[in-house]
Chain A
Amino acid sequence: MIHFPEREDVRLQRAPLVDVTEDREDRLARLEIAAETGDETAFVQAASEIDWSQRSAADFARAVHLALAAGAHLLARNLAARGARLYPDHQELQKMAHILAPPRVVKADLPPVPSVQANLEWMRARAAEYCGRWVALKEGVLLASAPTARELRDQLPTTAGLFLTRVI
């Protein structure tokens, strides 16, 4: 188990004037250690002790990457969103916030797709014969199969509208 020194402990060992820059780095270093060890709980705890209102755009971006490495996906989303709000001109934070944003409904009134049933029935009846291969179906009819998706794509004039999957 990794022991992180308490902030007050660190202060007591220093000269009376606290080096603020170094302290800021210590806090981010704790995030890095937690990320390297994949300790999501320690990462979230360390992040909660940081005053993010005083952090730079670069610190936010670095923290988002570290959160993703630590498996703290919700925190990564929240940090990206907060950083993007604080730094609206920072392109990387804007991209992070966009990619990690909660899912969004684009259209809710699209027509049904009847071929779903036909493709499913083919999978139920025939998939076992193609285990490990990629298959292409159209309206429940097998068009092609191949060992890889790339080879499957190369066999077909187009993949648009087809059902493509690896059979597991």
Chain B
Amino acid sequence: MVLQFADGRAFATGACPYRDQPTFDRTRTPRITIAVWIGGFQTQAVVDTGGVYLVCDPEIRDLLNLNPSASLGIATLVIRGYEYRGDLHRVGMTLLAKQGESLELEVTAFIPRLDPGQEWRFPSLLGLQGCLEFLRFAVDPGTNVFYFGPL
């Protein structure tokens, strides 16, 4: 147990270090970037509580063995003012703890399909609806630690 309520119940069961990295196009505002496990490998993703779904870098498609027939088909997502079309999948994702317990989730993932000439300007993103909702999480900016746990 990493963080607990006053009565001893667990608030967070895992903790990981994060990088406060400037990530978005034309901004230098630091974002909370943590390591996650998707489809058999680790990668990094930015906590984006204003967003939806696990939004993957489009090239992650080349690293995942996704079944196209398991996709929901084309969906549209506006990310920071840019409109992207892509596929929705159900994928396994693990929040990786350095301390405590790692947490495996099943989440909704949006994997963009770029049009010719279209650029991808973002890291992978951990949105709220479809991804981080129903988790407890907390941030300690003093030590750059991200705490998480199941409800």
List chain A positions with a Cβ less than 8 A from chain B. Answer: 38, 65, 68-69, 71, 73-74, 77, 95-96, 98-117, 119-120, 123-124, 134, 148-150, 153, 159-166, 168
B59 pairs with A116, CB closer than 8 A: no
Task: Collect the chain A residues with CB atoms within 8 Å of residue B102's CB.
Answer: 110-113
What sequence of 0s and 1s flags, for each residue 43-82 of chain B, a beta carbon within 8 Å of any chain A beta carbon?
1100000001100010110110000001111011110000
Interface residues of B (CB under 8 A from A): 13-14, 16-19, 21, 23, 35, 37, 40-44, 52-53, 57, 59-60, 62-63, 70-73, 75-78, 88-90, 92, 94, 96-108, 122-123, 129-135, 149-150
Question: B90 and A112: CB pair below 8 A?
Answer: no
Q: Which of A95, A100, A108, A161 has a CB less than 8 Å from the CB of B130?
A: A100
Residues of B within 8 Å of A113, CB to CB, are: 35, 37, 42, 96-98, 102
B20 to chain A, nearest CB (A): 10
Are B88 and A103 within 8 A (Cβ)?
Answer: no
A149 touches B123 (CB 8 A): no
**Could you tell me if B72 and A96 are in contact, using CB atoms closer than 8 angstroms?**
yes
List 20 additional contacts besides A95-B72, A108-B150; criterion CB under 8 Å: A69-B76, A77-B130, A98-B90, A99-B70, A99-B71, A100-B108, A102-B133, A103-B106, A104-B105, A105-B103, A106-B104, A106-B106, A108-B104, A148-B59, A159-B41, A161-B42, A162-B42, A163-B44, A164-B42, A165-B44
Measured CB to CB, the closest approach of chain B to A81, in angstroms, equals 13
Contact between chains at B35 and A119 (CB < 8 Å):
yes
Quick check: B130 and A73 within 8 Å, CB to CB? Answer: yes
Question: B73 to A65, Cβ gap below 8 A?
Answer: yes
Indicate if the CB atoms of A166 and B59 lie closer than 8 Å. yes
Q: Which chain A residues border B13 with CB–CB below 8 Å? A: 108
Closest Cβ of chain A to B8, distance in Å, is: 17
**Bound CA–CA A166/B40 (angstroms):** 17
Chain B residue nearest to A154 in the complex (CB): B62
Q: Complex Cα distance A120/B92, Å?
A: 22
B22 CB to nearest chain A CB (Å):
9
Question: With A and B bound together, what is the CA distance between A149 and B64 in angstroms?
Answer: 11
Contacting pair A105 B35 (CB below 8 A): no
Cβ-defined contact, A153 with B104, below 8 A: no
A99 to B89, CA, bound (A): 6
Whole-angstrom distance between the Cβ of A74 and the nearest chain B Cβ: 6
Closest to A70 in B: B76
Q: What are 5 A-B residue pairs whose CB atoms fall within 8 Å in the complex?
A: A103-B107, A103-B132, A113-B96, A124-B19, A163-B42
Query: A144: shortest Cβ distance to chain B, in Å?
Result: 13
Task: Please pick, from B62, B99, B131, B149, the residue contacting A149 in the complex, using a CB distance under 8 A.
Answer: B62
**A159 and B90: CB pair below 8 A?**
no
B108 CB contacts on chain A under 8 angstroms: 99-101, 103
Chain B residue at minimum C-beta to C-beta distance from A105: B150
